[in-house]
Amino acid sequence: MIRRAMFLVYYTMAVLLGGMMFPQVAGAAGALDPIALLSEYIEVDTVNPPGNEANAVAFYARYLKAAGIDYEVGESAPGRSNIWARLEGGDQAGLMLLQHTDVVPADERYWSTPPFEARVEAGYLFGRGAIDMKGTGIAQFLAFLALAQSEEPLQRDVVFMATADEEAGGFFGLDWVIKNRPSAFEGVGFVLNEGGSGSLRDDEKVFAIEVTQKVPVWFRLSAEGVPGHGSYPRPTAAVTTLITALASLNHQPFPIRVIPAVDRYFKGLGASIEGPEGRDFMDLASAVQRPEFVEALHEKHPALHALLRDTCSITMLKGSDKINVVPPIAEAEVDCRMLPDRPSGAFIQDFKDRLGGADVDVELIMAFSPAISDAESKLVRSIQSTLRQRHPRARFTFSVASGFTDSHFTRDLGIESYGFSPMLFRDGEASGVHGNNEAVHIERYRKAVADYQSVVEAFVLRSQ
């Protein structure tokens, strides 16, 4: 493992000898231009499926090698690989900067720019992954490189890790690393991952730190029946049996329950909202007793509404391959997310009870375990202290993610894990995540990269 004091020597040699190896090196040692680096990374093909995350590993390995930083690579399947590197420090619990390298597909017909090309328009950088999560990934990487360059001693180890497959469950990524390379997590007590961000309304800044998330529980339902010609339907068939079960599920929403982590999140949001909505957020337990509040929340803020109850989305259906053939088997896949306040087994039974007794087989595809990280930990206090210095009037809240991230894996290891990014978004700017026209505001992104570096340095450098 390279001594960090030697970083500048390796870095300077790489710049002098490597020519275009680094994009737009900006004066100070290690000061890679964030927009140029993110633009390059956006154009690295890591669409999942199939993944091809080895392309991202090659991207990071090139920079780490040029900087003289040792790293490890673990291949979970052909073309699916993971990379990590460690800077050694003192004996305090280590910090891991965790990111996933895969991105979801994009349909260019619905984008204003080519989704897999980095394009700058009207002050924004467009491209799939700009937010989820190549943008945060580059902020992490630049913070890691800055630490490697620094001659100040570290009070704890810092691990940079970029893994595959998060968008499909993480089984070829972080799950594989945990099971096959457990030494990568040795001494790690804290993780910074995706899942939290900032909001900007007028000049008011609110930073959210994600401490827990809804738990994915995915099912495959199947029904069997006698196949035949579409011209003479039978009294029962695989498709109709399946539809009956799905209709029963769809017409029985799970009851609302306000768990403490969600109540705290809404209070944090409500403090910056004027009028009736803000008051309702501050007193969520009372507000949810009014159907009109729940309906309005569902219409205006579906992701927040999803935090009030367990949810199920019927996402995939399969029947016959031909219009005039009654199939012998019909299948559906259902994406359920449960609140993290009970074991998944209890939810699975609730799910089955809602199928109305229909003759369907229920296969559990995936179920993670619930966990909540400490909102008063040393890392959380350090983040708040650092950002208050840089943004004196900013407020903080602790978010609950309606989706899931790889943090559930590290929480299962007993590691305090947080979703965090100081990127500030105005209303609607983050709608491109998994959607169309994903983009980051260029100047705010530059500031977020600097904020991220300051947060990391404050937590790991002895002199801070």
- Residue 2 scores a pLDDT above 80: no
Mean pLDDT within 324-346: 96
Lowest mean pLDDT among 14-23, 245-254, 273-282, 306-315: 14-23
Sign of CA dihedral 105, 142, 159, 4: positive
Residue 380 φ then ψ, to 5°: -60, -45
Position 112 scores a pLDDT of 97
Position 28 scores a pLDDT of 35
Residue 161 and residue 65 share a domain? yes
Domain range for 125 is 4-195+405-460
Residue 243 and residue 361 share a domain? yes
389 located within any domain: no
Position 12 scores a pLDDT of 40
Residue 362 and residue 455 share a domain? no
84 located within any domain: yes
Domains: count for the chain = 2
- Residue 25 scores a pLDDT above 50: no
- For the record, the structure tokens of 30 come out as 């290690």
pTM: 0.88
Nearest alpha carbon to residue 296 among 312, 310, 275, 315: 275
Q: At 103, is the secondary structure helix, strand, or coil?
A: strand
Q: How far apart are CA 121 and CA 139, in angstroms?
A: 21
Spatial contact of 26 and 142, defined as CB atoms under 8 Å apart: no
Strands 204-213 and 361-367: unpaired
Residue 78 φ then ψ, to 5°: -55, 125
- Residue 3 scores a pLDDT above 60: no
CB-facing half-sphere around the CA of 236: CA atoms within 13 A: 12
320 located within any domain: yes
Q: How far apart are CA 262 and CA 33, in angstroms?
A: 38
399 located within any domain: no
203 against 143, higher pLDDT: 143
Q: Which pairs with CB-CB distance under 8 Å and at least 24 residues apart come from 246-250?
A: 246/221, 246/314, 246/332, 246/334, 247/356, 248/354, 248/355, 248/356, 248/358, 249/312, 249/314, 249/334, 249/351, 249/354, 249/355, 249/356, 250/314
Sign of CA dihedral 60, 31, 452, 414: positive
Residue 187 and residue 54 share a domain? yes
Residue 220 and residue 353 share a domain? yes
182 located within any domain: yes
277 located within any domain: yes
pLDDT band at 24 (very low <50, low <70, confident <90, very high): very low
75 located within any domain: yes
Mean pLDDT within 417-441: 96
Name the domain boundary from 315, 346, 367.
367
- Residue 206 scores a pLDDT above 70: yes
Position 15 scores a pLDDT of 39
DSSP state of 25: B
Nearest alpha carbon to residue 420 among 268, 204, 198, 214: 198
Sign of CA dihedral 169, 38, 139, 432: negative
Mean pLDDT within 157-186: 97
Q: How far apart are CA 440 and CA 122, in angstroms?
A: 11
- Residue 22 scores a pLDDT above 70: no
pLDDT band at 20 (very low <50, low <70, confident <90, very high): very low
Residue 182 and residue 118 share a domain? yes
Task: Give the model confidence (pLDDT) of 233-272 as tens digits.
Answer: 999 999 999 999 999 999 999 999 999 999 999 999 999 8
Spatial contact of 100 and 166, defined as CB atoms under 8 Å apart: yes
Task: Give the model confidence (pLDDT) of 288-305 as tens digits.
Answer: 999 999 999 999 999 999
As a whole-number percent, the residues of the chain with pLDDT over 70 amount to: 93
Position 325 scores a pLDDT of 97
- Residue 339 scores a pLDDT above 80: yes
Position 463 scores a pLDDT of 62
Position 462 scores a pLDDT of 74
Residue 325 and residue 244 share a domain? yes
Position 414 scores a pLDDT of 96
Q: Which residues on adjacent β-strands are paired with residue 343?
A: none
